[in-house]
Amino acid sequence: MKEKLKKLSDYKWLIPKDARSGMRVDAIFYANKSILDTVEDTAIQQLTNVACLPGIIEPVLGMPDMHWGYGLPMGAIGAFDKEKGVISCGCTGFDINCGIHMLRTNLLADEVKSKLNDLISTLFHTIPCGVGARGKLRLSNKELSKVFTNGVRWAVENGYGIPEDLERIEENGCIKGADPSKISNHAMNRGAPQLGTLGAGNHFLEIQAVDEIYEQEIAKVFGINQKGQITIMIHCGSRGLGHQVATDYLKIHSSAARKYGIRLPDPQLVCAPTTSNEGQDYFSAMKGAANYAFCNRQIIAHWVRESFAQVFKKSWESMEMNTIYDVCHNICKLEEHTINGKKREVYVHRKGATRAFPPGHIDVPIVYRKVGQPVLIAGSMGTASYILIGTDKAMVESFGSSCHGAGRAMSRHAAIKRFRGETVKRELESRGKTVRSTHPKILAEEAPGAYKDVDAVVESVHKAGISKKVARVIPLGIAKG
């Protein structure tokens, strides 16, 4: 499939709709040449599969962190017509609203380095992580339903945050229209013991230091003032609750695709017409799962504040541990975009992709509206992460979207064969980083060498103009599930 790509610029490649039969629209892949050379042909193929679905709006988009996924590749965006399109649980993925919550502090690296061991141990003790770790909260179904409908507001009302946090979260921490009655008992029961848990796999918690500031004035608005300043990044999602919502609707959408005669180029691209009960039921359930994920990250963020307060023996407020932002990486949203010169509402599926709305956009929180929406990009373990900002060009070209992380370059099994957890840990420690995991194997699976170069990924979206670099942070302490 790669041979059919046409170069549009050094960072933008076209997969024309005549590349294969059945494609209704073009696809675009954003990447520099070296990323393009290494991306899997099967991931490009998956972009063209999505281009075959009914009501798809041009173009289907692949970001530089794109890799093979299920249905829609990871690092991709597919937007559908509000009336004639589809809503697809396959295009959103199993981990609904997997995303990032980021905190800033007024601490500097020198103040933190000597306490890193203490901090990581306290965080590890306070925040349940890894497969098999149990959450500390026990919510009744009634309370859990409030989490689905109220999102982070539930957390703030129950003492896991402050009202100011709500102003610095995508959708203010609550996507409107969640309907708990569309979430199964199985999902409720699975989600109940897992609220306030980090999970495993690529989920992590990092203590970071600002390494580079590219846009001083914008960084200041986010509370980033100088190099060496400490930030904290939390990467996780909706846990078993979201996995179960996805599993339930995978079956429902599979039947719906047959019922409505939708031809699926890949069985994992199951979907339902946007106007059908099956489509709207999923949309309402997915919003509930997304709100649970926002809430999960908020609770963890609050425990991070309390852990720092315990180690430094002063209040988290005095360390100014404020939320920078919280973004979704796996989500479906009904958003207004300009298509062929006309404003239209469309269903945008982002899987392994970040919303990147520009300055002035009404959906950017008021506190950031002048500068644009923060786009939080997680690097691989031990490498840099980034804060970017949304741009007008993203609204024109990529449905207001950008990349989400480094993106895997090697499978987990291949990584386990190639790397040893203990060696990865030693190597990271020799570079001055403190690392803790539930299991050495997870460090092998998540070895930096198993991922793409995050700097090249970010440079590609920056140069393509669909987001702009604001600051780069590097990890000092890492906790893995």
Partner 1 sequence: MKYKFLEDLTSDVMFEAYGRSLEELLENSALAMFSVVCDIKKVRALKSIKIEISSPDEQSLLHTWLSELLTQSEINCMFLSKFKVKRIETIDGLHLFGTASGEDMSPKLGETVVKGVTYYGFKLEKTDSGYKAQVALDI
**Binds partner 1 (CB under 8 A): choice among 12, 190, 351, 468:** 190
**Binds partner 1 (CB under 8 A): choice among 145, 254, 322, 354:** 254
Question: What gap in Å lies between CA 29 and CA 13, rounded to an integer?
Answer: 5
How many residues are there in the chain?
481
**Binds partner 1 (CB under 8 A): choice among 50, 52, 74, 123:** 74
- Sign of the four-CA dihedral 252, 258, 263, 265: positive
Binding status of residue 300 toward partner 1 by CB under 8 A: no
**Nearest of 68, 78, 91 to residue 28 by alpha carbon:** 78
Is residue 73 reached through a cis peptide bond, with omega within 30 degrees of 0 on the bond before it? no
**Binds partner 1 (CB under 8 A): choice among 91, 127, 270, 272:** 270
Subset of 331-370 contacting partner 1 (CB under 8 A): none
State the minimum distance, in angstroms, from the CB of residue 258 to partner 1. Answer: 12
Question: What gap in Å lies between CA 142 and CA 152, rounded to an integer?
Answer: 16
Binding status of residue 440 toward partner 1 by CB under 8 A: no
Binding status of residue 449 toward partner 1 by CB under 8 A: no
3-state class of 378 per DSSP?
Answer: strand
Instruction: Supply the DSSP string of 130-189, one letter for each residue.
Output: STTPPPS----HHHHHHHHHHTHHHHHHTTSS-HHHHTTSGGGG--TT--GGGS-HHHHH
Residue closer to partner 1 (CB basis): 74 or 112: 74
From 27-35, 51-59, 87-95, 292-300, span contacting partner 1 (CB under 8 A): 87-95
From 53-61, 143-151, 159-167, 405-413, span contacting partner 1 (CB under 8 A): 405-413
Catalytic residue flag (residue 404): yes
State the minimum distance, in angstroms, from the CB of residue 132 to partner 1. Answer: 4
Q: What is the dihedral of CA 327, 333, 336, 337, to 10 degrees?
A: 80
State the minimum distance, in angstroms, from the CB of residue 439 to partner 1. Answer: 7
Q: How many CA atoms lie within 13 A of 3 on its CB side?
A: 1
State the minimum distance, in angstroms, from the CB of residue 87 to partner 1. Answer: 17
Question: What gap in Å lies between CA 250 and CA 163, rounded to an integer?
Answer: 36
From 224-232, 237-245, 357-365, 464-472, span contacting partner 1 (CB under 8 A): 237-245
Lookup: tokens for 465: 């103009």
Binding status of residue 72 toward partner 1 by CB under 8 A: no
**Binds partner 1 (CB under 8 A): choice among 115, 438, 456, 463:** 438
Which residue type is seen at 30? Y
Q: Burial letters for 417-454: b for 16+ Cβ neighbours within 10 Å, e otherwise?
A: eebebeebbebbeeeebbbbbbeeebbbbbbbebbbbb
Q: Is residue 248 within 8 Å of residue 397, measured between CB atoms?
A: no
**Nearest of 290, 90, 74, 87 to residue 191 by alpha carbon:** 290
State the minimum distance, in angstroms, from the CB of residue 213 to partner 1. Answer: 32
**Binds partner 1 (CB under 8 A): choice among 2, 58, 70, 339:** 70
Binding status of residue 40 toward partner 1 by CB under 8 A: yes
**Binds partner 1 (CB under 8 A): choice among 193, 223, 265, 359:** 193
From 79-87, 128-136, 142-150, 289-297, span contacting partner 1 (CB under 8 A): 128-136
Q: Is residue 348 within 8 Å of residue 316, measured between CB atoms?
A: no
Residue closer to partner 1 (CB basis): 134 or 314: 134
Q: Which of 101, 361, 404, 462 is catalytic?
A: 404
Q: Burial letters for 353-380: b for 16+ Cβ neighbours within 10 Å, e otherwise?
A: bbbbbbbebeebbeebbebbbbbbbbbb
**Binds partner 1 (CB under 8 A): choice among 19, 25, 200, 476:** 200
**Binds partner 1 (CB under 8 A): choice among 64, 93, 273, 279:** 93
**Binds partner 1 (CB under 8 A): choice among 194, 284, 296, 391:** 194
Question: What gap in Å lies between CA 277 and CA 233, rounded to an integer?
Answer: 37
Angle at 465 between CA 221 and CA 45, to 5 degrees: 125
From 172-180, 208-216, 283-291, 410-418, span contacting partner 1 (CB under 8 A): 410-418
What number of helices (H) and strands (E) belong to the chain? 17, 19
Binding status of residue 177 toward partner 1 by CB under 8 A: no
From 92-100, 156-164, 385-393, 397-405, span contacting partner 1 (CB under 8 A): 92-100
**Binds partner 1 (CB under 8 A): choice among 199, 279, 374, 475:** 199
Binding status of residue 94 toward partner 1 by CB under 8 A: yes
Residue positions annotated with a catalytic role: 404
Residues at the interface with partner 1 (CB under 8 A): 40, 67-71, 74, 90, 93-95, 130-134, 186, 189-190, 193-194, 199-201, 240, 243-244, 246-247, 250-251, 254, 266-268, 270, 408-414, 438-439, 441-442, 445, 481
